[in-house]
Amino acid sequence: MKTNQILIRYGELSTKGRNRKAFISRLRNNIQTLFAGTPTLRIKAERDRMFLFCDDEQGMEDIVSRLPYVFGIQSFSPVTQTSLELDDMKHTALAIVSKMDTKDKSFKVSVKRPNKEFPYEKPEIMRTIGGYVLGNTPELTVAMRNPDIDLSVEIRQDAAYMMAETIQGAAGLPIGAGGRALLMLSGGIDSPVAGYHMLKRGVRLELIHFFSPPFTTERAKEKVLDLAEKLSGFGSPVTLHIIPFTEIQQEVHKQVPDNITMTSTRRMMMRIADAVRAKTDAKAIITGESLGQVASQTLESLQAINAVTNTPILRPLIAQDKLEIIETAQAIGTYDISIRPYEDCCTIFTPANPKTKPKTDKVEHYESFVSFDEMIDRAVAEREIIEFPRNKQQHFEDLL
């Protein structure tokens, strides 16, 4: 027997009507790109499901371990191929079930028989295979409706195909189906989670980070690089734009009253983000803001920040509380990176009493005493651009 196939179920893609073909094609392209290093991979996409074929055992293990993080897949099942001999089917069925948790579980065998020349009818196949598995797995019980383990057997012309394990996928839509947007990545807990949610809706990400040396350190920057690396692990490469922000941040604190420096700083970030967005052909800006979490995330503050651009601002965390956000960060593997104790530019120069209800016209008035345009253009022009995933081997060689 050999496990050389995977059956993929689409989930939300199945609701796309006449556009379904385009979404399936996008998912197929993403899988091909993600597993480009597996030359034996072949993909067969059908209207309601997709099959992956891989004759390389190591390649198959790699696919099974990474497929749960590919958006657009509701669930998938490894498929084991065996001969058309009933004895082979019995032993293969037992081998598949033996790898699963069978304690206090119910079980059934389902059979499809498209090979009408096969000499045994469905009931006989079910009795033979089911009886053998139950005889060797006494803790299992039979349940014809909603069993915990449903061993599916399909008799085709060339072989018999079996599957019992259903692995949950990442769901959502294939990355790229929702266009491109720019994520403001701070290094904290929230913004990577916001990026994850937008990836799940099929949005391809550009990332922007504001770096203020010597007030922020290389270790803080490395934390952001690690977060970008993590976000690139969901089936699509990302590009990080690192903005030199020290000059602008110091000028804001020199010219603007202390209690509205946070609002003004966010407005400058948004103006720079909008300029980078235009250069990358992104259609929106994504932030990790959650309503009421900090002083800059009140409705009045968000209104003042939004006033610098007409670009759509997407805030996928706006109605989530901190515990929900932390739970997601832990689930996607960004939490332990985000809590490293290194500062970011949003936490330096923090005023003691920031204004929670800033007036947009007053903020604009104080900013009008300084021409920020040249500084913004310079910051955008001098940005550092890094592609992810990084070539780890090359990265380590560069450090030697």
Task: Say which residue the tokens 């007053």 belong to.
Answer: 362
> Where is pLDDT greater, at 393 or 124?
124
Strand locations in the chain, DSSP E?
2-9, 42-45, 49-53, 73-82, 106-112, 141-142, 149-155, 160-163, 167-171, 180-184, 204-211, 238-244, 285-286, 313-314, 384-388
What is the arithmetic mean of pLDDT over 333-348? 84
- 89 carries a ligand binding annotation: no
**Residue 55: predicted pLDDT:** 87
What is the spatial distance between Cα 35 and Cα 102, in angstroms, rounded to a whole number?
A: 32
Measure Cα distances from 8 to 31, 57, 123, 161, 163 in Å: 11, 18, 27, 15, 12
Mean pLDDT of the chain: 91
- 266 carries a ligand binding annotation: yes
- 288 carries a ligand binding annotation: yes
For the chain, what's the residue count? Answer: 400
Q: What is the pLDDT of residues 281-310, one digit of tens each?
A: 999 999 999 998 877 789 999 999 999 999
**Residue 398: predicted pLDDT:** 40
Q: Which of 46-50, 270-274, 322-326 has the lowest mean pLDDT?
A: 46-50
What is the spatial distance between Cα 70 and Cα 187, in angstroms, rounded to a whole number?
A: 24
**Token pair recorded at residue 34:** 């993600």
Q: What is the pLDDT of residues 227-247, one digit of tens each?
A: 999 999 887 889 999 999 999
DSSP string for residues in 238-250: EEEEEEE-HHHHH
- 210 carries a ligand binding annotation: yes
Domains and CATH numbers, the chain: 2-168 (3.30.2130.30), 180-388 (3.40.50.620)
Query: Quick check: 167 and 77 in contact, CB under 8 A?
Result: yes
pLDDT bucket at 18, cuts 50 / 70 / 90: confident
- 297 carries a ligand binding annotation: yes
pLDDT bucket at 391, cuts 50 / 70 / 90: low
145-181 in b/e burial notation, b at 16+ Cβ within 10 A? eebebebbbbbeeebbbbbbbbeebbebbbbbbbebb
Q: What is the pLDDT of residues 147-160, one digit of tens each?
A: 999 999 999 988 99
- 17 carries a ligand binding annotation: no
**Token pair recorded at residue 79:** 């498929």
Q: What is the dihedral of CA 290, 293, 298, 301, to 10 degrees?
A: -90
- 333 carries a ligand binding annotation: no
Task: Say which residue the tokens 């739970």 belong to.
Answer: 327
pLDDT bucket at 177, cuts 50 / 70 / 90: very high
**Residue 397: predicted pLDDT:** 39
Neighbouring C-alpha atoms within 13 Å toward the C-beta of 67: 29
Query: Quick check: 78 and 6 in contact, CB under 8 A?
Result: yes
**Token pair recorded at residue 192:** 């990577």
> Is residue 393 scored above 50 in pLDDT?
no
**Residue 392: predicted pLDDT:** 47
